[in-house]
Amino acid sequence: MRKRTFLKSMLATGAAALASLTISVAAAEEISVGANIGNVPWEFQDASGNTVGFEIDLMTEVGKRLRMEVKFTNIPFQGLFAAVQSGQIDAAVSSITITKKRLESVSFAQPYYDSDQSLTVKADSGIKGLAGMEGKTVGVDTGSTGDIWATAHQAETKIGTISKYEGLAPAMLDLQAGRIDGYISDIPALLYYVKDKPQFAVVERIKTTEQYSVMFAKDSPLAAKVNDVITEMKKDGTLAKIHETWFGTKPDEGLATTTVLDMPKL
């Protein structure tokens, strides 16, 4: 009787250990990636409802090369930071700019895109640039570098009010409706968005020397793995092809999309 009890106990223990191992392996085979869906052309839904975009292609290819399934979760931009820090997600994309302040609490893989901010207005507004925004209302994405820039330069630009949004689509709807007078956001996204919408115009590039990358929890081991894959993708031209798919041109030589760079550090 004791032998049977002991054997049952051993089998139960073994089964529990196997189940635990199976769960761990399953978890290791998936990367949970947070993204602010609606951030054209980085991550958004196409006419068929499929999630597509530059960073969707990027992370899907990263997953393939790491032999890990990529699961995307829609999270407002500002929520991405808490989500990676808390472990709710493993990584985040959404044209996230690397900054020294952010590096204090999160980690990034090497940059893969160089960008600036921009001011977009209605084409018939008469506004030619930031000089025309005195006393007017500008829209920004909450917590974005556009938000940070507009807040820091509100006095000198004499912008009247800063309205905050969770993504490009609602901001552009309000711009169209006249509820805001301009929208400050990433220039590649706006150039892509307005190319077939003559009612809008990108009237000024705002120099900020931003670089985008994948964000992780501070010192996450996954950051180095993804960084190595991005290096491979730069060297074999895959990242350049993704750029051409979404922007219609090959990336300029010497920029982050084609140049292997170090992981950012404080």
CATH class of 116-210: alpha beta
Identity of the amino acid at 76? P
| Fold designation for 10-112+213-247 | D-Maltodextrin-Binding Protein; domain 2 (3.40.190)
Residue 71 has a CB neighbour count (10 Å cut-off) of 13
Per the DSSP assignment, residues forming a β-bridge with 229 are none
pLDDT band at residue 249 under the 50/70/90 scheme: confident
The whole-number pLDDT of residue 150 equals: 98
pLDDT tens-digit profile of 134-171? 999 999 999 999 999 999 999 999 999 999 999 899 99
pTM: 0.76
As annotated, the residues of the chain forming the CATH 3.40.190.10 domain(s) are 10-112+213-247, 116-210
Q: How confident is the model over 19-30, as a mean pLDDT?
A: 51
The whole-number pLDDT of residue 248 equals: 83
The whole-number pLDDT of residue 252 equals: 84
Residue 41 confidence (pLDDT) above 80: yes
C-alpha 4/C-alpha 2 separation (Å) is 5
Pair 91, 33: CB distance under 8 Å: yes
The CA-CA-CA angle for residues 231, 233, 235, to 5°, reads 70
C-alpha 171/C-alpha 139 separation (Å) is 6
Residue 98 confidence (pLDDT) above 80: yes
Q: Give Cβ neighbours of residue 266 (< 8 Å, ≥ 6 apart).
A: 100, 103, 104
Q: Give Cβ neighbours of residue 86 (< 8 Å, ≥ 6 apart).
A: none
C-alpha 75/C-alpha 92 separation (Å) is 9
Please give the backbone phi and psi of residue 206, each rounded to the nearest 5 degrees, phi first: -105, 110
Residue 65 confidence (pLDDT) above 60: yes
pLDDT band at residue 236 under the 50/70/90 scheme: very high
Cα-based torsion angle of the residue sequence 122, 128, 131, 136 in order, rounded to the nearest 10 degrees = -20
pLDDT band at residue 10 under the 50/70/90 scheme: very low
The whole-number pLDDT of residue 24 equals: 40
The whole-number pLDDT of residue 20 equals: 43
Query: 20 is written with which tokens?
Result: 């635990």
